[in-house]
A = this chain, B = another copy of it.
Amino acid sequence: MKSNVTMRDIAVKLGVSSVTVSKALNDKEGVSEELKLKIKDLAEEMGYRFNVMAKSMKEGCSYNIGVIIPERFTGEDQSFYLKFYQHITKMLERYNYYGILQILPTNDEEKLILPRTYYENKVDGFVILGQVSSEYIDLLTEHEIPKVLLDFYTDHSEVDSIVTDNFYGVYELTNYLIKNGHREIAFIGNIHSTSSIQDRYLGYYKSLLEHKIPLNTNYIINDRDERGKYIDLELPEQLPTAFVCNCDQVGFNLINKLISLNYSIPDDCSVVGFDNDIYSTLSNPPLTTVQVDTEEMAKVAVKFLIEKIKDKNKSYGRVLIKGKIIHRDSVKTVSKEGHVSDLSSQI
């Protein structure tokens, strides 16, 4: 993609003035229909992108609106992505940049329509926050737009992305359960849906492998359909002593279900989650879970993006940021309940 086609470039190619190009592109009076069409066609062909900033300068109007949210309204129990966005904003400030939040409509994503900010030269790069189709990522790559994926990655390992270390997080969490005497451990999550869930599952599996605990397929429980909608959990006939849930929300759902079946948590079985979001504190008991280090992730994402803007050749690939186990009240030690010998024979 050509990077900086201007009205003048178009004008020169057509042997007209840039004033005429401006008029044509803005559908103003004073250009013959024929010439107007020619100009528009060439503009498209040359990959022309309007420069709002120049217009802004002329008009003394920035075409930006600042939306202010007081800090105290963005506390603990707010949305995960808002928290991310907030950290991104904070990091950007250090570089004298501003963040423009754009909700990418599903339709634009499917039809592969780039954000208007790109066409108007409003931004120098993008942070993609949350899994977008790989076709869309490819599109951004083709246009050579500096970008960093945050909280997900694609199968192209050369695309720079910052993700939490899902694998390691659940691996540690499962180790922790095993250290507390659990050996019947189930995993809840659709292991075919997102890469995050898959990685979390593999972390769980690795921990089992390392402790020579066989993988029990009855203990792999689906939690959502292909569209990501939560389904009713089908619990195995014999309950495990612990559940590793792929996220806090499912942990929350599971605890409610178990309670409604008259089980007591963590006495009858332990439950752990992932994310340390609002659901981990709403369940009763609150969930032991893994806290994603959103601040560090945002920091790294911004740093990388700015570097890439300065130097197009910079590349970082996939970067994993470790999370941290948050201990709450949903896990019980079961070492005294018959599994002791099994455990000790393992050590």
Contact = CB atoms under 8 A, between A and B. Distances in A.
Interface in A61-93: 61-74, 78-79, 81-82, 85-86, 88-90, 92-93
Contact of A98 (B65, B124, B129): B65
- For the complex formed by this chain, how many copies does it contain in all? 2
Contacts of A102: 66-69, 89
Interface hub of A72, A98, A102, A284 (most chain B Cβ within 10 A): A98
Interface stretch (A25-33, A113-121, A177-185, A316-324): A113-121
Interface residues of A, number: 67
Interface string A131-150: 11000000000000000000
Interface string A16-51: 000000000000000000000000000000000001
A4 interface: yes
Contact of A101 (B89, B97, B124, B130): B89
A103 B116 contact: no
Interface stretch (A104-112, A195-203, A335-343): A104-112
A18 B127 CA distance: 37
Interface stretch (A52-60, A157-165, A215-223, A287-295): A52-60
A305 interface: yes
B132 A66 contact: no
A73 B102 CA distance: 12
Given A85-B101, A100-B65, A71 B129 contact: no
